[in-house]
Amino acid sequence: MKETDVRDRRVEDRKRVRTPVFIRSEGRPMKQCVARNLSATGVFIETKDLGLACGEEVELVFSLEIDRTVKLHRRHAQVVFVRAGGTGLAFRSRAMPKVPEEQG
């Protein structure tokens, strides 16, 4: 088994996106970031030193256009990893709509 197979535990395919995401965690003001990939179970967002820790709960607000309809989404998520340039988050609920096709 390749090393990447061991580390990648995703159960859903991710789509490349570039959409604004607002993130809020307890005791901190809401910040705007950019989502870079998205699935029904999680998202990777570009972040710069938000002070988030693995296991921390956050609230995300973002919009998605699917079939020419734009919908606003609010999701609670848990920080799965933090690394230079970004943060991986797992949605706390699977109530996510169909993910749009890759946006580049």
Q: What is the pLDDT of residues 64-73, one digit of tens each?
A: 887 888 888 8
Between 95 and 61, the more confident residue is 61
- Predicted confidence band at 98 (pLDDT cuts at 50, 70, 90)? low
* pLDDT, averaged across the chain: 82
Listed by start position, the domains of the chain span 3-91
Question: How far, in Å, CA of 32 to CA of 41, rounded?
Answer: 21
**Three-state helix/strand/coil letters over the chain:** CCHHHHHCCCCCCCEEEEEEEEEEECCCCCEEEEEEEECCCEEEEECCCCCCCCCCEEEEEEEEEECCEEEEEEEEEEEEEEECCEEEEEECCCCCCCCCCCCC
Q: Region 55-71: what's the mean pLDDT?
A: 90
CATH architecture of 3-91: Beta Barrel (2.40)
Q: What is the pLDDT of residues 34-51, one digit of tens each?
A: 999 999 899 999 988 788
pLDDT tens digits, one per residue of 18-31: 999 999 998 889 99
More confident: 36 or 94: 36
